Structure 1
Amino acid sequence: MNVTTPTDREIVLTKEFAAPRQLVFDAHTKPELLKRWFGPHDWRLAVCEIDLRPGGTWYYLMRSTAGAEMTLRGSYVEITPPARLVTTESNVDCDARAEHESLATLELVEHAGGTTLTNTLRFPTKEIRDAVLASGMDRGVGEGFERLAVLLAGAPEASPPPRDLKCALRPGE
């Protein structure tokens, strides 16, 4: 995974996957796939709620094997399957981000042999961007992308998620 900071309020993550664009898009929008890869190696989605429509919301509760929790939530701004997904995001457990929303723009470009994923994270301030960089997010996202690559390749997951996980679409979806 390549991580750059093109402006003082942005982080851009780029990763190549050996999979079709539609499958990579589905892995970002379908709870049954998200719960198999999202987060670092020692974290799993305990709750994953998705209302996949412009104006709809999403909510993830991540739990580490040590019992720590992290809550991420946001709303869908733009959904253009399978090429683009724009969402807001806040991390209620991070003091710097709890009251602030970031904008995440996921772009998927298919090419011979796979898909290039580019995720541009735009933060309200440089201080919040710097706090996110200092948090080790590159390790967490990188490990999540490693798990995603395994999922996309169709290989069995190294460690299955705990049985008590709940990850489902919201009613009506």
Structure 2
Amino acid sequence: MSENKTSNLTVQVEGRDLIMERVFDAPRDLLFKVYSEPEHLENWWGPQGWQTKNKKFEFKPGGVWHYCMTCMDRNQGEFYGQESWGKGTYQEIIEPEKIVYIDQFSDEEGNVPENMPEMLISLTFVEQGAKTKLIIRTQFASAEELQKVLDMGVVQGFESQIERLDELLKEIQAA
């Protein structure tokens, strides 16, 4: 397992699974809340310099989360102004312990392109006193599909997202 010292994210690949773990300085109920409430997701989802808007958010098994991330940072060059649409379909929700959903790239209408990988994501929230360990297991159809997403920079994007999540958790707890 490798660890990035700046984000304290551990990353491991097991066959066609990508496993990322991180301990957050926040109680489990709060970490679950920022994953399960649309107004919170819009404040931290996506890499630094990107803004997320929810088009649809149904937090229940079978419900759909359809969103768009837009690059708002002029310093990101060719990415500035670019939109990236995503669609999640919730499979299982056990509050405040677990969220399982299928994550896919999509277009503005929610159509999923055939050539992009589908990911089965399981989020497990493990209470550790006043802190919470988040385990994210992402399963792909094949090791090749996993490699495609790794090559797209999914780990670096998630590390950037974690920084935004940390800031939001600090703001909420300070309020």
**Does 2:139 match 1:125?**
no
5+ residue gaps, structure 2: 1-8, 73-79
Bigger helix share: 2
Q: Equivalents in 1 of 2:54, 2:88: separation in Å?
A: 14
Partner of 2:66: 59
Distance 1:63-1:13 versus aligned 2 partners, 3 A rule: same
Q: Equivalents in 2 of 1:111, 1:120: separation in Å?
A: 19
Instruction: State how many pairs are aligned.
Output: 154
Q: Equivalents in 2 of 1:143, 1:119: separation in Å?
A: 15
When the two structures are superposed, what TM-score results if normalisation uses the length of structure 2?
0.82
5+ residue gaps, structure 1: 157-173
Shift of 1:92: 3.0
Partner of 1:23: 30
Shift of 1:48: 4.6
When the two structures are superposed, what TM-score results if normalisation uses the length of structure 1?
0.82
Query: 8 Å contact 2:28–2:96 — kept in the other structure?
Result: yes
Partner of 2:18: 11
Query: 8 Å contact 1:101–1:124 — kept in the other structure?
Result: yes
> SS of the residue aligned with 2:46?
coil
Query: 8 Å contact 1:2–1:14 — kept in the other structure?
Result: yes
Greater RCO structure (CA 8 Å; 6+ sep): 1
User: Among residues 94, 101, 117, which one is paired with 1:80 in the alignment?
Assistant: 94
Q: Equivalents in 1 of 2:131, 2:32: separation in Å?
A: 12
Residue by residue, what CA displacement relative to the aligned partner does 1:21-75 show, whole Å, maximum 9, x if unpaired? 1110111111111111111111110335210111111111111121111111021
Query: 8 Å contact 2:54–2:65 — kept in the other structure?
Result: no
Greater than 4 Å deviation, 4+ residue runs = 93-97
Residue by residue, what CA displacement relative to the aligned partner does 1:121-165 show, whole Å, maximum 9, x if unpaired? 000111110011111111111111111111111279xxxxxxxxx
Question: Identity percentage over the alignment?
Answer: 31
Q: Equivalents in 2 of 1:67, 1:120: separation in Å?
A: 30
